[in-house]
Amino acid sequence: MAGRADEIKGGVKEGLGKLTGDKGLKAEGAAQKQSGRTRRKAGGAATEAKGSVKRAAGKVIGSPTLKAEGEADRLRGRTERA
């Protein structure tokens, strides 16, 4: 969630920088926005990988609960990356 918040804050700063002609604020906002996007996508990829492992483990040991939890984590990770 922190990544998404940084994306939003960065977008606001970037927009204010464009509006006021402040190149420093615009650049700072763009950097913060990109940093937030990167953090969000990396976190989503980790969640998706964790879910894939749990889902596979659930299949191997025959646990429908673990398999379902893994699928839910995998889909949550995919959503975070979108």
Task: Give the pLDDT score at 1.
Answer: 65
Residue 81's nearest CA partner among 33, 48, 32 is 48
Stated pTM of the model:
0.74
Confidence check: pLDDT of 69 > 90: yes
Number of domains in the chain: 1
Residues 5-57: pLDDT tens digits? Answer: 999 999 999 999 999 999 999 999 999 999 999 999 999 999 999 999 999 99
Q: Which domain holds residue 15?
A: 2-81
Summarize the chain as % helix, strand, coil (round to 5): 95, 0, 5
Stretch (H or E) spanning 61: helix 23-61
17 Cβ neighbours under 8 A, 6+ residues apart: 23, 24, 25, 26, 27, 28, 29
Q: Could you tell me the CA-to-CA distances from 56 to 11, 19, 22, 76 in Å, in that order? A: 39, 50, 51, 16
Please report, as a single letter, which amino acid is at residue 31: A
Task: Give the pLDDT score at 2.
Answer: 74
